[in-house]
Structure 1
Amino acid sequence: MTQSPYWNPRIETLPREQLEALQLAKLRTLCEWAQARSPWYRRSFAQGGFEPGQLRSLDDLRRIPLLTREQWMTSQDERPPYGELPTIAPETAIRVHTTSGTSGRTPLRALDSRKDWAWIAEMWAYGLWACGVRPSDTAYVAFGYGSFIGFWGLHYAMEKIGVLNVPGGAQTTEARVKQILSFDATVVASTPTYALRLAQEADQLGLDLRGSAVKRVILSGEPAGSIPETKALIEQQWGAKAYDTAGMTEVGTIVMFECEHQPGGAHIIEDHVLEESLDPETLEPAASGERAERVVTSFGRHAIPLIRYRTGDEISRVPGSRCGCGRTADIYAGGILGRVDDMKLVRGTNVYPRAIEGIVRAFPHVEEFQVRITREGLRDEIALLVETAPDHADAWPEVSSALRRELADAHEGLNFRVERAEAGALPRFELKAKRMVDLRDRPMGA
């Protein structure tokens, strides 16, 4: 019998009118729950003059006050360890996960009840099934399994689908590569950066990933998974299809995914999250297709509700855009485009990490790179440091010249210094990569 291409066939193909009615009903329920049980939301709603009964259509969503990461962190700092957002007592939760931290402050702590965690696994099941993962697969999860939420939800969704899971925590990259091959894994889950690192390690060990059983690489944790050049490089190195997914610790680890049609963007799981695209300066709704900040309301996180949360993610949404797969939810063109605060201004030119990576990953000789921004006197300078594969040393003059030219063409003539780094000198990343380093405000000697 032919299996459905959808994890939840009825919901994933709902007509738009019915989908929005479902969202409105869930929004009312969530706001009533938050007002009754969360000190933060009870105060925030009162200060904003909002009552859940005012929600008569989705247009009324903008009556609800926004929530920022800074507000959440401040609440947590003032009333440790979890702040005033939770609706449940910590002893009734079953899990806590953390973000990676900001400016030395305590990382955000997200509590989950048993019901919340079942919801997170369900969300991941939508995405994994759309990528073609099936019960007959063996999945290798190349993840450290710490308090960072990362691929925890994916692991539980694999179990829910019936996939044989191989957890790859607390091991060297060499050991993980060997396990992928020895278990005949058909699916591998990792960050885009680590997928490239695994492939480099396999080459150094003389192991053939391209000829392995791996057919799908599930990417998450970084916007790089939606960069065509990065994805193409991963697919070339693995001999497998790569699929982008995206989420965040605060919201619930996955909120969008690519399907097997790969429509040039990511499907939003709109029956589980309510997404807005707002101008980050004016906080007014962005025009169709305009780059904007993603603001999300998470229907399934009840221990710590997230209502109109400013994610800082930069996206482009075209309402009504559809995919040949038949799913009726909207698509974010290009997935997560980056972070609103990732852009750097260098000598009057906007510089985005995503744009740089898109250029660099088109050069197969490059193994790792880093962007450094410095201030020399009154002038800003930007440098691209590059590690090349050992067997391509002779190509460096040609590669460096081409990189300088393409970077300048993409950045209004801005001159990048392109410098060769020693093998192994640049940082390697298992989880979220940070390849742009701004040293302009660093104290002397730091």
Structure 2
Amino acid sequence: MAESPYWNPKTEALARDDLRALQFAKLRRVVEWAETRSPFYRRTWAAAGFTADQLKSWDDYQRIPFLTRDEWMANQAELPPYGDLPVTGAAGAIRMHTTSGTSGRTPLRALDSRKDWFWAAEMWCYALWGIGIRPADVGYLAFGYGSFIGFWGLHNGLEKIGALTVPGGAQTTTQRVRQIIDFGCTVVATTPTYAFRMAQEARELGVDLPSSAVRTVVLSGEPAGMIPETKALIEAEWGAKAFDTAGMTEISTIFMFEPADQPGGCHIIEDHFIEKVYDPETLEELPYGEWGERVTTSFGRSIIPLIKYRTADAVVKVPHTTAANGRTFDLYEGGILGRVDDMKLVRGTNVYPRAVEAIVRGFPIEEFQIRIEKVEMRDEVFLTVEPAPSLDDGAWADVEGRLQTELADAHEGLRFIIERAAPNSLPRFELKAKRLQDLR
């Protein structure tokens, strides 16, 4: 009997009508659970005039109030440390995790039960198996294993599949590169930014990554994992196929993954999530193909039911027929496109970090930073780049000119001021990269 490409064949190829019926049954159950068990939901829903018994059809989904991160954070500040959105206190949990805090804000604190962690691992199994990872693989997690939730769920997912799992915490980049080689790792999990950092370190160590045993790089944590130029460069550096995934601390795991056939987007794990796209200004639900804000409802995390949560992720949803792998799960075309507030207006022109990165990755540049400042009453956008060490002054002049031209062409003629940084002077990131500063 041929091996299935699906971790869960029963649901990954379920007819859409049956899938929708399954989602609605789970939706009703989680809404009833939240209303009964969570003081936060019971209080806020009552104030909005919503009760669980009003949920009788899909049309009634619109009755459910949105939940925002600011509301959740305010609740935790008012009732520290966890607020009263969870259905139980710390005594009912086995682990606490936080958001990365890269935005400079106080990290969000989240609790999980043993059951929740089993579910989080299961979500990663959808991705890992769909990518093509099997029990014979050796997986390396280039991750610090701190309170940030990061790749904790992936670790458990690898173990659940039966793959040998190597935790790469408390290691320098040099040590991690050597361990990947020494242990014969076939899979490496990392952020896109740190994939470049390890490749740079490997070159300095004289390690030939493309000739190593690594055949798969699992990316997460940054939108860059689905930028074609970034992915192609990572694949060239590692001599391996790179696959994108995305998750969030608020749900404790991933909600989408890029399968082995790489259809240009990531399948949403729709038997465990309801993912809808809304206009972030009008809060009107948007159809397929429209850019908007991702709003999620999660079925699996029992301590923290997450219902109609505004994620601030920018996405474009497309139907499952976009892919030809037989899955009936819809996709996010191009994965996560960034944050809905990532777009910066500079002298009437929209500047998106993702679009800038797509251009920068086409040049021999090791790292970059975007900075927007007001200079003598005029908004200016600076791009500080760290060229590859092999680039001499003459070659740099050519790169600088072409880079400036491509950036202007992509931004309605807006001039980017290019600054050349010294080797290894720009920050490197193990977790989520922060490359944009708006100093106006």
Aligned partner of 1:199: which letter? A
Aligned partner of 2:365: which letter? V
Where 1:14 maps in the other structure, the secondary structure is coil
Where 1:367 maps in the other structure, the secondary structure is strand
- After the TM superposition, which residues 25-64 of structure 1 pair with which residues of structure 2 at under 5 Å, given as runs? 25-64=25-64
Aligned partner of 1:408: which letter? A
Match of 1:333 in 2: 333
The reply to whether residue 2 of structure 1 matches residue 20 of structure 2 is no
- 1:128-152 per-residue CA deviation (whole Å, 9 max, x = no partner) reads 1000000000000000000000000
Give the Cα–Cα distance (whole angstroms) in 2 for the partners of residues 267 and 82 of structure 1: 31
1:265 Cα offset (Å): 0.3
Give the Cα–Cα distance (whole angstroms) in 2 for the partners of residues 104 and 371 of structure 1: 17
Give the Cα–Cα distance (whole angstroms) in 1 for the partners of residues 294 and 123 of structure 2: 18
Aligned partner of 1:391: which letter? S
Give the Cα–Cα distance (whole angstroms) in 1 for the partners of residues 435 and 421 of structure 2: 14
Give the Cα–Cα distance (whole angstroms) in 2 for the partners of residues 213 and 195 of structure 1: 16
Match of 2:129 in 1: 129
Match of 1:323 in 2: 323
Aligned partner of 1:372: which letter? R
Give the Cα–Cα distance (whole angstroms) in 2 for the partners of residues 103 and 189 of structure 1: 23
Where 1:315 maps in the other structure, the secondary structure is strand
Are the equivalent residues in 2 in contact too, given 1:314–1:339 (CA < 8 A)? yes
> How many correspondences in the alignment?
439
Match of 2:149 in 1: 149
Are the equivalent residues in 1 in contact too, given 2:296–2:311 (CA < 8 A)? yes
Match of 2:13 in 1: 13
Are the equivalent residues in 1 in contact too, given 2:256–2:267 (CA < 8 A)? yes
1:377 Cα offset (Å): 1.8
Give the Cα–Cα distance (whole angstroms) in 2 for the partners of residues 21 and 80 of structure 1: 38
The reply to whether residue 272 of structure 1 matches residue 272 of structure 2 is yes
Give the Cα–Cα distance (whole angstroms) in 2 for the partners of residues 237 and 192 of structure 1: 12
1:100 Cα offset (Å): 2.3
Are the equivalent residues in 1 in contact too, given 2:276–2:295 (CA < 8 A)? yes
The reply to whether residue 359 of structure 1 matches residue 359 of structure 2 is yes
Aligned partner of 2:14: which letter? L
Aligned partner of 2:360: which letter? V
Match of 1:382 in 2: 381
Are the equivalent residues in 1 in contact too, given 2:320–2:327 (CA < 8 A)? no
Are the equivalent residues in 1 in contact too, given 2:102–2:432 (CA < 8 A)? no
- After the TM superposition, which residues 208-219 of structure 1 pair with which residues of structure 2 at under 5 Å, given as runs? 208-219=208-219
- 1:148-191 per-residue CA deviation (whole Å, 9 max, x = no partner) reads 00000000000000000010001110110000000010000000
Give the TM-score normalised by the residue count of structure 1: 0.97
Match of 2:95 in 1: 95
Match of 1:405 in 2: 405
The reply to whether residue 196 of structure 1 matches residue 196 of structure 2 is yes
Give the Cα–Cα distance (whole angstroms) in 2 for the partners of residues 95 and 2 of structure 1: 39
- 1:379-409 per-residue CA deviation (whole Å, 9 max, x = no partner) reads 0111111111111224101111011000000
Match of 2:234 in 1: 234
- 1:257-289 per-residue CA deviation (whole Å, 9 max, x = no partner) reads 000110000000000110010000000011321
Aligned partner of 1:117: which letter? W
Q: Which structure 2 residue ranges, 5 or more long, are not aligned?
A: none
1:103 Cα offset (Å): 6.3
Where 2:386 maps in the other structure, the secondary structure is strand
Match of 1:444 in 2: none
1:110 Cα offset (Å): 0.8
Where 1:170 maps in the other structure, the secondary structure is coil
Give the Cα–Cα distance (whole angstroms) in 1 for the partners of residues 335 and 215 of structure 2: 22
Match of 1:68 in 2: 68
Match of 1:252 in 2: 252
Are the equivalent residues in 2 in contact too, given 1:191–1:220 (CA < 8 A)? yes
Where 2:100 maps in the other structure, the secondary structure is coil
Give the Cα–Cα distance (whole angstroms) in 2 for the partners of residues 430 and 187 of structure 1: 17
Are the equivalent residues in 2 in contact too, given 1:226–1:244 (CA < 8 A)? yes
1:305 Cα offset (Å): 1.0
288-297 vs 103-112, greater mean Cα deviation: 103-112
Are the equivalent residues in 2 in contact too, given 1:360–1:403 (CA < 8 A)? yes
1:342 Cα offset (Å): 1.0
315-324 vs 200-209, greater mean Cα deviation: 315-324
Q: Which structure 1 residue ranges, 5 or more long, are not aligned?
A: 441-446
1:34 Cα offset (Å): 0.5
Give the Cα–Cα distance (whole angstroms) in 2 for the partners of residues 106 and 413 of structure 1: 38
Share of identical aligned residues, percent? Answer: 66
1:318 Cα offset (Å): 2.0
Match of 2:115 in 1: 115
Match of 2:163 in 1: 163
Give the Cα–Cα distance (whole angstroms) in 1 for the partners of residues 50 and 155 of structure 2: 38
Are the equivalent residues in 2 in contact too, given 1:97–1:148 (CA < 8 A)? yes
1:321 Cα offset (Å): 3.5
Give the Cα–Cα distance (whole angstroms) in 2 for the partners of residues 428 and 94 of structure 1: 33
Where 2:231 maps in the other structure, the secondary structure is helix
Are the equivalent residues in 2 in contact too, given 1:322–1:329 (CA < 8 A)? no
1:47 Cα offset (Å): 1.4
Aligned partner of 2:408: which letter? A
Match of 2:426 in 1: 426
Give the Cα–Cα distance (whole angstroms) in 1 for the partners of residues 139 and 103 of structure 2: 35
137-146 vs 283-292, greater mean Cα deviation: 283-292
Are the equivalent residues in 1 in contact too, given 2:102–2:434 (CA < 8 A)? no
Give the Cα–Cα distance (whole angstroms) in 1 for the partners of residues 343 and 322 of structure 2: 29
Give the Cα–Cα distance (whole angstroms) in 2 for the partners of residues 67 and 406 of structure 1: 40
Match of 1:305 in 2: 305
1:52 Cα offset (Å): 1.6
Are the equivalent residues in 1 in contact too, given 2:294–2:313 (CA < 8 A)? yes
Over 6 Å off, 4+ runs: none
Match of 1:443 in 2: none
Aligned partner of 1:122: which letter? E
1:410 Cα offset (Å): 0.5
